Structure 1
Amino acid sequence: MIQVTKKTVSGILTFVLLITSFMIQPLTTHAESTLDLNAESAILVDAGTGKVLYAKNADIALPPASMTKMMTEYLVLEAINEGKIDWDTTTQISDYAYKISANELFSGVGLTQDKDYAVRDLYNAMAVFSDNATTIALAELIAGSETEFVKMMNDKAEELGLSEYKFVNSSGLDNDSLGDDMPKGTDPNASNLLSARSAAQLAYHLVNDFPEALEISSQTEVEFEDYKIENLNWMLPHEATFLQSFHYEGVDGLKTGNTDLAGYTFTGTAERDGTRLITVVMKTGSKEERFRETAKLLDYGFNNFASEELFPAGHQLEDKGTLPVAKGKEKEVSVSISEGIAIPIQSEEAELYSLEYNIDEEKLNDNGEIVAPIEKGEKLGTATLVYEGEATDHGYIFDQESVVVDVVSDEAVEKANWFMLTLGAIGDFFGNVFTTAVDWIKGLF
């Protein structure tokens, strides 16, 4: 008869839990092929490196709706950073901004004319509640008119390297909603356009250049004119019971959007264990769906990728740790990469990455040797990170296909003096003569 003790039961339970954890774990780690998103366009990006972890129709330009305001936010924060305005600078509401604020279709915070509003309050209403009129007021404050501000928006988009964009107003409303007040020189029937990739590029610059933007976008509510306005980002930790189901740990931004033409859009960002991800979903079917699809992207990113240093600074390739030197006191020079390479990768794929050297041809003579003198730390070429796995490599959000770092010399090599160079030349001469003579004699037989 088998005696069952508490210790035996405990051991069995531990074993069952262990096996269960292995059975359940694969269900929470989704391969890209199973990530079926209900969005016309989407992208997932590592905010530290710009590495794209997932993309779906990411280069199609679509109306971003109020995600447009991320560019307005960037230009406001830039103006503050440059000392052109500050958070306490005040402005009054123009007829145009007041008209938008009074329009019930745009459900704004409600503004009053002949009253001073501080930049901080206007920015809060724009970033947290997605208010259109306060956005216009900020644009007019910075550029004098929304027409001039739109020019700034497009110029900044080019400067930041956005891939697909067209800004026609500061708020993200369709131009036909603005009537005669639409920015001059823009098409009455036009809308702002961004691709998921360019929205992610803009978010990348916003959170990295101005981290304070997240301090504001992470607020679940703010006070405006003695009443509280709720953040439209439901993935933040709201107190309302209904919204709690959408809360995602680590989310602290960034911008929602919705128009009839754009559908429901959202640029989100979350940080966990030092890793920040940026997501964009465009043209989803509802408020709820844009947050559910964003959660899918974040789950995929956090569950499947981890940042790993593949090659530390000073790493040398086994067969290319040195390069031959001509006209130097040394016959070779030690070389390595100037900085470490760390990117988010899928588990157990570190061995699928390698480096390829590309030595600067202008540094080489006809025999493929580096010509002395060589300074310590001198750039001799570049090393490109190469992925040899089977998973789709989506590259980076900017114009680069991979990580490229400098290959540098680890030591200085002085140029040999004229006497040693002369001896070397004589040695080479007689060596060549001897080789020619041997070859001639061999030819006789």
Structure 2
Amino acid sequence: MPAPIMQTVRRSLLVTSATLASLALTAPVSLAAPSPSPSGSPSATPPATMSTVGGVRLGQPGTQVALAGDAPVVPKGITARSWIVADAESGDVLAAHNAHWRLPPASTMKMLFADTVLPKFPKSTAHKVLPADLEGIGSGSSMVGIKENETYTVHDLWLGVFLRSGNDAVHVLSAMNGGVANTVAEMNEHAEELQALDTNVVSPDGYDASGQVSSAYDLTLIARSGLQKKDFREYCSTVSAKFPGETKKNKKGKRVRGSFEIQNTNRLLSGDYDISQYPGIAGVKNGNTTNAGATFTGVAERDGRVLLVTVMNPEKSDHNEVYKETAKLFDWGFAAAGKVTPVGELVAPKGTEQAGKAGANPSASATPGTSGEAGGGAAKAGDKPVAAGAVAEDGSRGMWTALAITGGVLVLLAAGAFLVNRRWPLPDLVRRRR
């Protein structure tokens, strides 16, 4: 059998399509069910008819799970309006609750923003912030502290997006990307390509806006796509970092620019007084607004299995409730994996079919997880992630967890047939916390 043939493709659309070819998902995919134009405040109950993308059961209201044998029951006390537990590599949905309910996403929408825009600019690119860059930021937005007429690297800006959920950083990057309107259009186009058909973007930062919705299913699809990008994995798993401050004159009259530390607001990653860091956690993104309530998508690894969990708007208002319910679902998912019959799947992007056809040509194949680094570039053999708790050269502290994964898509050429592995390996995400 010929050896696997791999080639890195740097352009973001090719990355999205070609690297996901390893999914080869087989369930039929339907279009999102039509629904009334969503208002700022969602209804208290899920619609009777929802999308069936990923499987018929995922379009049904209520909890969907197929227990078998000694599989544990879904944990009690989960009050979220919508949630999903899925295997990040195989795409199997282990359980879900109102998975396609279109709800305000809050800052989890920034995952789609990053998956769309991050590959466009090398992280070393510097940008001087103009007053116009910061226009239109919603009142009460979360901010990282960007100042007009100061220069920031793209790396700085993405740290602001992922760690502090800074809407100011999102608006600056959007300005670099041709403006907010152009960025929103590109995000909606990318969501459609991913088959995240419950999603409608109005504001790139996730700020409450009429008609801005997503779903637990879509957010999980988006996170899964983003995690194929090296820089996305790095930023979403960073616990703390140094961020440039404002240029000021010191006592000697010399203009100097200091920095300040920023912490990740993902409490399963950074911990809090009432919740511990979740073992094996590797990201992804949290959010909280008036209309959305608390939202969160997380990825974690245990014993070589990688799960994605999304939780949207818990009814219980306890402090850090969204993280507590996510942790319960992670615990259940790791215990139930292999003991439940999947109730659906995370579908492949629309481009996968074309990528599969192109794969018959060896020059069209690609290695997942190496492209999508900002500005292109592939991970080299022997590259090692920053150890947990270590401080990288740029001052950021990365929390890397081993995801026990293979190095790339296996492209097998046998009897003229193009075959791909159904699993979607996640490359070196984070090193397990000791």
Q: What is the TM-score with the length of structure 2 in the denominator?
A: 0.58
Number of the residue aligned with 1:72:
113
Q: Distance in 2 between matches of 1:160 and 1:93?
A: 32
Q: 1:279 aligns with which of 306, 309, 322?
A: 309
Distance verdict in 2 for CA 1:303–1:107, change over 3 Å: same
Number of the residue aligned with 1:296:
328
What are the within-5 Å matches in structure 2 for residues 383-402 of structure 1? 393-398=342-347
1:62 aligns with 2:97: no
Number of the residue aligned with 1:156:
190
Q: Deviations over 1:146-174 (max 9, x none)?
A: 10111100111111111311001110002
Q: Is the 8 A contact 1:32 1:54 kept in 2?
A: no
Q: Distance in 1 between matches of 2:122 and 2:348?
A: 34
Number of the residue aligned with 2:395:
none
In structure 2, the residue corresponding to 1:224 is in which secondary structure?
strand
Q: Shift of the alpha carbon at 1:280?
A: 0.3
Structure 1: stretches of 5+ with no match in the other structure: 1-28, 80-84, 176-189, 306-344, 347-390, 401-407, 413-445
Distance verdict in 2 for CA 1:286–1:203, change over 3 Å: farther
Q: Deviations over 1:125-150 (max 9, x none)?
A: 101110001011111212x1110111
Q: Is the 8 A contact 1:221 1:230 kept in 2?
A: yes
In structure 2, the residue corresponding to 1:248 is in which secondary structure?
coil
Which amino acid is the alignment partner of residue 121 of structure 1? D
Distance verdict in 2 for CA 1:286–1:263, change over 3 Å: farther
Number of the residue aligned with 2:402:
none
Number of the residue aligned with 2:163:
128
Q: Shift of the alpha carbon at 1:219?
A: 1.6
Q: Distance in 1 between matches of 2:141 and 2:94?
A: 35
Number of the residue aligned with 1:193:
213
1:223 aligns with 2:219: no
Q: Shift of the alpha carbon at 1:271?
A: 1.2
Identity value in percent: 31
Q: Deviations over 1:258-289 (max 9, x none)?
A: 10000000001101222111110001235511
Name the count of aligned residue pairs.
270
Q: Distance in 1 between matches of 2:75 and 2:304?
A: 27
Q: Is the 8 A contact 1:43 1:196 kept in 2?
A: yes
Q: Distance in 2 between matches of 1:35 and 1:119?
A: 43
Q: Distance in 1 between matches of 2:276 and 2:229?
A: 26
What are the within-5 Å matches in structure 2 for residues 64-143 of structure 1? 64-79=105-120, 85-99=121-135, 105-142=140-177
Number of the residue aligned with 1:235:
268
Q: Distance in 1 between matches of 2:242 and 2:348?
A: 41
Distance verdict in 2 for CA 1:131–1:197, change over 3 Å: same
What are the within-5 Å matches in structure 2 for residues 175-186 of structure 1? 175=209
Q: Is the 8 A contact 1:37 1:293 kept in 2?
A: yes
Greater RCO, 1 or 2 (C-alpha within 8 Å, sep 6+): 2
Which amino acid is the alignment partner of residue 174 of structure 2? A
Q: Is the 8 A contact 2:263 2:270 kept in 1?
A: no
Distance verdict in 2 for CA 1:411–1:105, change over 3 Å: closer
Q: Is the 8 A contact 2:72 2:335 kept in 1?
A: no
Q: Is the 8 A contact 1:132 1:171 kept in 2?
A: yes
Larger Rg: 1
In structure 1, the residue corresponding to 2:267 is in which secondary structure?
coil
Distance verdict in 2 for CA 1:33–1:297, change over 3 Å: closer
Distance verdict in 2 for CA 1:273–1:151, change over 3 Å: same
Q: Is the 8 A contact 1:264 1:287 kept in 2?
A: no
Q: Deviations over 1:52-102 (max 9, x none)?
A: 0110000101000000000111123322xxxxx20011223343543567x
Query: Which runs of 4 or more aligned residues in structure 1 lie more than 6 Å from their structure 2 counterparts after TM superposition?
Result: none
Q: Is the 8 A contact 1:246 1:291 kept in 2?
A: no
Which amino acid is the alignment partner of residue 170 of structure 1? P
Distance verdict in 2 for CA 1:206–1:286, change over 3 Å: farther
